[in-house]
Amino acid sequence: MVEEPDANPYVHDPDTSFAPADELSEDEARDQVSDLRVAVEYHDYRYYVENDPVIADRTYDELFERLQRLEDAFDLHDENSPTQRVGGEPLDELETVGHVAPLLSLQSSGDSEEIRAFDRRIRDRVGDVDYSAEPKFDGFSIEVVYEDGAFDRAVTRGDGREGEDVSANVRTIGSVPLHLPAPAPEFLAVRGEVYMPRSGFQALNERRIERGEDPFANPRNAAAGTVRLLDPETVAGRPLEVFFYDVIDTDADLGTQTEAFDLLYDLGFRVNDETTVVDDVDAVIDYRDRLMTERDDLEYEIDGVVAKVVDFDAREELGSTARHPRWAFAYKFPARTGETTVERIVVQVGRTGKLTPVALLDPVDIQGVTISRATLHNAAQVQRLGVREGVTVRLERAGDVIPEVTEVVDGEKRRASGDRTGSDDGRPAAGEGGFTMPDTCPVCDGDVVQEGEHHYCTNASCPAQLRRSLQHFCSRDAMNVKGLGAAAADQLVEAGLIESLADLYDLERDELAALDGWGETAADNLLAELEASKDVPLGTFIYALGIRHVGTERARALAAAFSLDDLMDAGTEALRSVEDVGPEVAAAVASYFDEAENVETVERLLDAGIEPERRERGAELDGLTVVFTGSVPGYTRSELTELLETHGASVTSSVSGETDYLVVGENPGTRKREQAAAEGVETLDPEAFEERILSRL
Ligand code: IVH
C-alpha cells in the first residue's frame, strides 16, 4: 500500500480556507500546486485503488478545484497533473509506438488434459514449480511505461511489437498512477487489462440507446472501443478500470511473480485480489473451477484463469516461442454455448427504426440460463450463417448480453411444419426458403431501406420509433421543448395523444392536464414551450426531424444550401454537392423525404405554425471574440469552441482589448478575470452566455 505523502498539508487536514490565488507569489503558487498534486493523486489512489477514501468527496473536490484554479491562474499545466484526468485536447489520430518487449499471448485451452500436459512439460524441464493463479480478464490489454517515476506512455497491444499510443485516454483512468512513490524504479514497463465494470457498462448502454446510438455488444468491446477513442474527454466520462498483472521490464530486481505483484502493489497499481500462489496443477484446476462458479458475481468479466510459473529463473530456462511464453497457460472456461432448434425468425423494430432478425428458439439451458431467443443482427448475417427455420444452431451467451447465434450445426434438419418466417405480430417476413428482410416495416408498413448490412424503417411516425423521434425532436439542440423528456414522450404515445410527430402541436390543454401526474400548470407549461419553439432556425428544424446521419452540423449545412422546399425535392446528386454529405447521408436524406408520411408530417408541422427560418451558415457571430475561463455546464470546451467558430466567432485563450466577452463558467481562473476587469471586457456567466450568444445560433 502506498504510504501517506510526508508532511503534505492537504492529505488529512486540508486547509479549505485557502488564501485567494492573487495573494500568492509565483513561488508560493508553484509549491502549493506541487503539494496539491501529491495530495489529489494520493486521494485518487485511496479512492480508486484501495476503495478506501480518507477524506470526504466535498473536501476532495475543494482540493481538486483549488489545484485547477492555481494551474489556470499561474499557467502551471502539466499533462501528468491529476487535473488532466478529466481529459485533454482531442487527437487527430493515435500514433504507433514500439513496445518495450514483444507483448506475447498465451497458450490456452478449456481442456484439463491440456493444462496437465503443459504442467508435465514444465516439470520435465525444470522440476516442480509453484504457479501464480490469476483470473484471465476479458478486457483490453495495454502496456504502460514509467520513466523516472512518472507516467510516460500507454500503448495498446497492437500486433505485439508495436501498438497505438493511448496515453491521453489511459491517464483519465483514476486508478492508473501518474507518479510512483519513492523509491520508484528509474524505468518500469507494466502490463494490465483495461475493462469496463458490468454496472458501468449497463449504464453506458442505456445512455447510448436513449440517444439512438448502437449499444456495445459486451463490456470488452465497450472497453476496447473506448480506449481507442480520439477524444480523451469522452473517455474520461466512461467507466474504465484496470488490473495490472505483469512487470514487462524494469531496473528493479525481481525474482518471482510474487515480488512483481508486491512491487506493483507498493507502487500503487491496482492489482486483483483473487490472485494467489498454488503448488501444483491440481490446485490450478480447482482454482479455475471455483472461479467458474463465482464469475457472475464479479464486477468484471473473466473467461478463465492464467497459471504462470512463479520463479523467474525457471521462466528464463523455459523461454518462449515466437508467440507465447512456455511458462504460462490460460485455462479457459467452457464457452457459454448450447445447441437448439430455430422455430421461427421474426423481425423486431428498434427505437432507431433498425430492423433486427431474431431467432425464436426451442428453449435451451446454457449454463443455468434458459435461452429462447437470440439475435441474428441483420439479414446478411442470417445469409452468412445459413440460418432458417428448423435448423439446429449453436448459441453463445456472453456476460449479460443477449445471446447470439454463432453457427448452423445441422442445416438438414428441417421442421415438418413449414418454413414460414414472420414478424412478432405474425405477419410474414420471408421469401420462399431462406429468410429475407421484408420490404415494408412489420410494425407500420412504412418503406424499409437498406444501409450497408442494416435495414431501417423510414417512417419517422412508426410507433416503434415514435417515442424516440419525439424525444429527439424536443431535445435541447433540436426544438428545445423543455418538459418533454423520455417519460413524458412515453406517456403521450401510450395515452394515444400522439401518433405522429405532427400531433405534438395539436395537443390540447384538457387532455394534457388529465394525464397522470400532470395537471393544468404542467399542461400550460408544455403548451407555452411548444408555442415558443415555433420560431426556429431551419438547420435546427432539419436536425429535429431526426433524419439518420444528420446531426446538428450537417443539418446546418443543408439549411445553408437549400430552402426547406428544395431540400424536400432534392435528389441524391444535389444533396451530395453539400460539404460533408456523402452517398450514405444523401441516400438517408432523400429516402426520408421519399416517404409520404414524413412529407405529411413536415407539412403538418408547418401548418401548425412552425416557421423554420433560413440563416446564412456561419455568419451569426462574425467578428465576435470570446474567451472562456472555467467550464460551462453541458458543454466541453472543445464543443463550445467548435460551435462558436463555425458561426464566425473567434475563441482565444487570453483576454485582450480585442476581446468582446469573457465567459466565466464553473471553477474559473483568476487571471483572466483580472485581465477582463483591467481591459474593461464584459463578463458573462453561463446563463448570460446562453442568452446573449448561444441563442443567436
Ligand atoms: S499474462 C506473456 N495475465 O490474455 C504473458 N494475461 O492471450 C502475458 N490476460 O492479451 C499475459 N488476464 O490481455 C496475463 N492475468 C493475466 C491476464 C492476461 C488476461 C490477457 C492478456 C493477453 C491475453 C493472452
More confident call, 430 vs 566: 566
Q: What is the pLDDT of residues 655-677, one digit of tens each?
A: 888 899 999 988 777 767 888 88
Is it the case that residue 406 has pLDDT exceeding 70? yes
Give the per-residue pLDDT at 686: 93
Q: How far apart are CA 311 and CA 315, in angstroms?
A: 6
Distance 172 CA to ligand 1 centre (A): 22
Distance 224 CA to ligand 1 centre (A): 15
pTM comes to 0.62
- Maximum average pLDDT range among 79-88, 393-402, 673-682: 79-88
pLDDT over 70 for what percent of the chain?
Answer: 93
Q: How far apart are CA 421 and CA 430, in angstroms?
A: 5
The answer to whether residue 308 is catalytic is: no
Q: Which residues of 370-406 are buried (b: 16+ CB within 10 A; e: fewer)?
A: ebebbbbbbbebbeebebbbbbbbbbbbbbebebbbe
Q: How far apart are CA 444 and CA 459, in angstroms?
A: 8
Is it the case that residue 129 has pLDDT exceeding 80? yes
**Mean pLDDT for the stretch of residues 183-208:** 90
Q: How confident is the model at residue 210 (pLDDT cuts 50, 70, 90)?
A: low
Give the per-residue pLDDT at 423: 43
Give the per-residue pLDDT at 212: 61
More confident call, 482 vs 238: 238
- Burial label for 470, CB within 10 Å (0-12, 13-18, 19+), is buried
Give the per-residue pLDDT at 107: 95
**Mean pLDDT for the stretch of residues 509-525:** 93
More confident call, 349 vs 165: 165
Q: How far apart are CA 690 and CA 637, in angstroms?
A: 14
Q: What is the DSSP string of 276-288?
A: EEESSHHHHHHHH
Q: How confident is the model at residue 430 (pLDDT cuts 50, 70, 90)?
A: very low
Give the per-residue pLDDT at 638: 61
For the chain, list the domains and their CATH numbers.
Answer: 21-77 (1.10.287.610), 107-332 (3.30.470.30), 336-412 (2.40.50.140), 463-613 (1.10.150.20), 625-696 (3.40.50.10190)
pLDDT over 90 for what percent of the chain?
Answer: 56
**Mean pLDDT for the stretch of residues 26-48:** 94
| Coil, helix or strand at residue 554 | helix
- Maximum average pLDDT range among 41-55, 163-177, 486-500: 163-177
Q: How confident is the model at residue 245 (pLDDT cuts 50, 70, 90)?
A: very high
Distance 260 CA to ligand 1 centre (A): 15
Q: How confident is the model at residue 336 (pLDDT cuts 50, 70, 90)?
A: confident
| Coil, helix or strand at residue 270 | coil
Is it the case that residue 121 has pLDDT exceeding 80? yes
More confident call, 15 vs 151: 151
Q: Are 590 and 575 in contact (CB under 8 A)?
A: yes
Q: Are 80 and 171 in contact (CB under 8 A)?
A: yes
Q: How confident is the model at residue 637 (pLDDT cuts 50, 70, 90)?
A: low
Nearest atom, ligand 1, residue 108 CA = 7
More confident call, 613 vs 507: 507
**Residue from 104, 109, 132, 137 whose mutation best tests the ligand 1 pocket (most atoms within 8 A of CB):** 137
Which residue, by CA, sits nearest to atom 21 of ligand 1?
141
Closest to 554 in 3D by CA, of 568, 575, 573 = 575
What is the rounded average pLDDT for all residues in the chain? 88
Nearest atom, ligand 1, residue 139 CA = 13
**Mean pLDDT for the stretch of residues 284-295:** 93
Give the per-residue pLDDT at 15: 62
Q: Is 328 in the pocket of ligand 1 (CB under 6 A)?
A: yes
Give the per-residue pLDDT at 437: 93
Q: Is 193 in the pocket of ligand 1 (CB under 6 A)?
A: yes
Q: How confident is the model at residue 67 (pLDDT cuts 50, 70, 90)?
A: very high
**Mean pLDDT for the stretch of residues 577-598:** 88
Distance 244 CA to ligand 1 centre (A): 10
Give the per-residue pLDDT at 617: 52
**Mean pLDDT for the stretch of residues 47-62:** 86
H or E segment to which residue 475 belongs: none
Q: Cell digits for 612? A: 423554420
Q: Is 246 in the pocket of ligand 1 (CB under 6 A)?
A: yes
DSSP E strands in 83-236: the ranges are: 96-98, 107-109, 131-137, 140-147, 150-156, 162-164, 187-195
**Mean pLDDT for the stretch of residues 479-491:** 87
Give the per-residue pLDDT at 418: 39
Give the per-residue pLDDT at 414: 42
Distance 53 CA to ligand 1 centre (A): 30
Q: What is the pLDDT of residues 526-584, one digit of tens each?
A: 999 999 999 888 989 999 998 988 887 788 889 888 999 999 999 899 999 988 788 88
**Mean pLDDT for the stretch of residues 162-178:** 96
Give the per-residue pLDDT at 640: 81
**To 10 degrees, what angle do helices 670-679 and 57-73 make?**
50
Is it the case that residue 250 has pLDDT exceeding 60? yes
Is it the case that residue 3 has pLDDT exceeding 80? yes
Q: Is 243 in the pocket of ligand 1 (CB under 6 A)?
A: no
Q: What is the pLDDT of residues 410-421, one digit of tens each?
A: 765 444 333 444
Give the per-residue pLDDT at 415: 41
Q: For the CA atoms of 428, 429, 435, 436, what is the dihedral angle to 10 degrees?
A: 140
Range of weakest confidence among 154-158, 377-381, 384-388, 618-622: 618-622
**Residue from 245, 271, 275, 287 whose mutation best tests the ligand 1 pocket (most atoms within 8 A of CB):** 245
Give the per-residue pLDDT at 433: 52
Closest to 540 in 3D by CA, of 479, 589, 593 = 479
Range of weakest confidence among 312-316, 421-425, 653-657: 421-425
Amino acid at 458: T
Q: Is 224 in the pocket of ligand 1 (CB under 6 A)?
A: no
Give the per-residue pLDDT at 398: 65
**Mean pLDDT for the stretch of residues 109-128:** 97
Is it the case that residue 287 has pLDDT exceeding 60? yes
Q: How far apart are CA 11 and CA 26, in angstroms?
A: 22
Could you say which of 136, 308, 354, 672 is catalytic?
Answer: 136
Is it the case that residue 370 has pLDDT exceeding 60? yes
Give the per-residue pLDDT at 188: 97
Give the per-residue pLDDT at 432: 40
More confident call, 414 vs 63: 63
Is it the case that residue 619 has pLDDT exceeding 70? yes
